[in-house]
Amino acid sequence: RQRRPVDVAALAKGVREGSRSLLARAITLVESNRPDHRVAAQELLLELLPHAGGAVRVGISGVPGVGKSTFIEALGTRLTGDGHRVAVLAVDPSSTRTRGSILGDKTRMAKLAVDENAFVRPSPSAGTLGGVARATRETIVLMEAAGYDAVLVETVGVGQSEVTVAGMVDTFLLLTIARTGDQLQGIKKGILELADVVAVNKADGNHERDAKVAARELSGALRLMTPTHESWRPPVLPCSAQTGMGLDEVWSAVREHRSTLESDGSLGRRRADQQVEWMWAMVRDQLMDRLQAGAKDTIGELEHGVRNGDETPTRAAARLLDTLGLPDQR
Ligand code: GDP
């Protein structure tokens, strides 16, 4: 099969000039696992990195049904109405199993999907969370180089995906619905700890009062937790994605959080730390890939030995890593 080389320069130019079709091709390239595509994608990213970094990066999380897509559609439409260019990305590691992502699905955001100032991209189905996260991080670079100034990364409360998304955005927004008293336990503490802003959605009709009470209670609960930043207390705001009530306040809180990070230089540090953490995540991924591809026979033998009890797991691990040829200087 003939493999046509990727014209990286043309792609980079097209992305920067705002061509939607070339941007879509560039995203497909960074999502690809083909080795020659991986090389071309990294060249493309190197060319575009100097033009990236300009967006407000926001992670949006919440359990299915909480109203994420309704919220993103309403917020995104407001933002494009105010002259912003909005990218909607998704991190959904379950998409490989279900063969199609439930997140970032264009049919869930009908207006944004046809808005010329918005770009909605479903979760890549690249396999592992690490693979999906890599593609999404790289897509953020592309979107920023293309001039999108608000990047919204959607995720569900599955496994580690929130932690992963929190590691690629400036502000992490948790969407929830009215819960009070014992029900507060239903919100995973680990997720609350990640939240920079919390929105209690569906504060409309008969539920408006409940949502406001819940917001106050949750705010009290949050006060007992370690803040994500020393001079930032995560606000808890009622809103309705359906009526639009409170959406401006939620967005203001996101902007305020960003300003707080900017004012003491922690935005730059946070992003730099995220880049280094990303590098290590890539090391872990590539290490496993290389071992699995390059030491198939040894792996077979060692697994057999460990199963039979002829070899200890610890010694087998060391022997496997020895195949990489690095001196063991521990
Ligand atoms: P997701 O699974 O988190 O993306 O949730 P959806 O956006 O698909 O919303 C789930 C359901 O809740 C849908 O039937 C929405 O119409 C409804 N919904 C979303 N936001 C609101 C809201 O603010 N108020 C009310 N009453 N319903 C909402």
What ipTM was assigned to the predicted interfaces of this complex? 0.99
Longest CA–CA span in the chain (Å) reads: 67
Distance of CA 199 to CAs 76, 232, 311, Å? Answer: 16, 16, 53
What percent of the chain has pLDDT above 90?
Answer: 61
Q: pLDDT value at position 293?
A: 87
Q: pLDDT value at position 106?
A: 53
Q: Which atom of ligand 1 is nearest to the CA of 64?
A: 2
Architecture of domain 53-263: 3-Layer(aba) Sandwich (3.40)
Residue of 66, 70, 212, 240 to test ligand 1 pocket, by largest number of atoms within 8 Å of CB = 70
Q: pLDDT value at position 311?
A: 95
Q: How far is the CA of 43 from the centre of ligand 1 (A)?
A: 41
List, chain by chain if needed, residues with CB within 6 Å of any ligand 1 atom.
Answer: 62, 64-70, 201-202, 204, 240-242
Q: pLDDT value at position 248?
A: 97
In the predicted model, is pLDDT for residue 147 greater than 80? yes
What is the C-alpha to C-alpha distance for residues 188 and 328, in angstroms, rounded to an integer?
A: 41
Q: pLDDT value at position 103?
A: 52
Q: Domain limits of the chain? A: 53-263
Q: Which atom of ligand 1 is nearest to the CA of 62?
A: 3
What is the C-alpha to C-alpha distance for residues 330 and 323, in angstroms, rounded to an integer?
A: 16
Give residue for tokens 């995104």: 76
Q: Which atom of ligand 1 is nearest to the CA of 205?
A: 26
Give, as one character, the DSSP assignment of residue 17.
T
What is the C-alpha to C-alpha distance for residues 236 and 171, in angstroms, rounded to an integer?
A: 14
Do 123 and 27 touch, CB atoms closer than 8 A? no
Sheet containing strand 86-91, edge to edge, reads 118-120, 86-91, 150-155, 56-61, 171-177, 197-201, 236-238
Q: How far is the CA of 240 from the centre of ligand 1 (A)?
A: 9
User: What's the Rg (C-alpha) of the chain?
Assistant: 22
* Mean pLDDT score across all residues of the chain: 88
Greater model confidence, 157 or 52: 52
Find the mean pLDDT for residues 217-243: 86
Q: How far is the CA of 65 from the centre of ligand 1 (A)?
A: 6
Identify residue 22 by its one-letter amino acid code.
L
Do 236 and 218 touch, CB atoms closer than 8 A? yes
Q: Going by CA atoms, what residue is nearest to atom 12 of ligand 1?
A: 67
Do 92 and 157 touch, CB atoms closer than 8 A? no
